[in-house]
Amino acid sequence: MSDPTDITTEEILSPAGIEEAVSLLANEVIRRCGEDKVAFVGIYTRGVTLAHRVAEVLKSRGRDYPVGTLDISLYRDDFDNLGTALPRLESSDVPFALDGTRVILFDEVIFTGRTIRAALDGLMDYGRPSKIELAVLIDRGHREIPIQPDYVGRRVETTLNHYVKVRFQEDDGKEGVFLVTEPVAETNE
């Protein structure tokens, strides 16, 4: 895996930029959700971090939304194509009733949309939310299925040779969003 400091790597969002995008997402949630019963569900790993960050901002503004976690490994449609990778599963944790709740799903990047499709399947096995919306830090385009985010921190123009890398302090020990030009074997989402 190439390092974000590779020659081919370009920082597209600084730590401050991320903070700005997070607060943008928080503002949008307040604006659109009003007094609805809202819960966040983050997709492992960085979607969970993103959900927590947005929830924190909202908490400081007096809105306390629960955050659940979802590991979508078991819902992926590319089980046969994982090659030699052996995925370590995480415990999905949705410790609140979804029925009648407006659920906002969080992921760090949206690309083809397939991860979100798997997440929707997974989420619906936990209950029947009144509404499901999608929040992402980065929308890099190139959808393969008709799924669009409702909340976007930043839109980025990319080609298929690009790889968008989100790094959070909590998960990775560094902070920033990077555009890697060299294609990497791993899928983006």
Partner 1 sequence: MSELKPRKDLLDIESLSLEEIEYVLENAVPFKQLFQRSVKKVPTLRGKTVLNLFYEPSTRTSSSFEVAANRMSADVTNFTVSASSIVKGESLLDTIETLQAMRSDYIVIRHKAAGVPGIVAQHTRASVLNAGDGYHAHPTQALLDAMTFREVYPDFAGRKVAIVGDILHSRVARSTSTLFHKLGIEVGVLGPGSLIPEGRHDFMTRFRTWDEVFDWGPDAVYLLRVQMERQEGQFFPSIAEYHKMYGMNSDRLVRMRELGAYLMHPGPVNRGVEVTDEAMGYEKSLISTQVENGIAVRMAVLHWLKPETQKD
Q: Which residues here bind partner 1, judged by CB under 8 A?
A: 71, 73-76, 79-80, 84-93, 121-122, 124-127
Q: Least distance in Å: CB of 16 to partner 1?
A: 30
Closer to partner 1 at the Cβ: 10 or 125? 125
Q: Least distance in Å: CB of 118 to partner 1?
A: 9
Q: Least distance in Å: CB of 39 to partner 1?
A: 16
Closer to partner 1 at the Cβ: 75 or 163? 75
Closer to partner 1 at the Cβ: 130 or 159? 130
Q: Of the candidates 108, 147, 143, which has an alpha carbon nearest to the alpha carbon of residue 21?
A: 108
Q: Least distance in Å: CB of 70 to partner 1?
A: 11
Closer to partner 1 at the Cβ: 49 or 69? 69
Q: Helix, strand, coil: what percent of the chain each, to 5?
A: 30, 25, 45
Can you list the positions of beta strands (E) in the chain?
Answer: 9-13, 38-43, 67-70, 102-110, 131-139, 151-155, 163-167, 176-180
The order of strands in the sheet holding 176-180 is 9-13, 176-180, 163-167
Closer to partner 1 at the Cβ: 39 or 54? 39
* Alpha carbon distance, N-terminus to C-terminus of the chain: 15
Q: Least distance in Å: CB of 159 to partner 1?
A: 25
Q: Can you count the helices (H) and strands (E) in the chain?
A: 4, 8
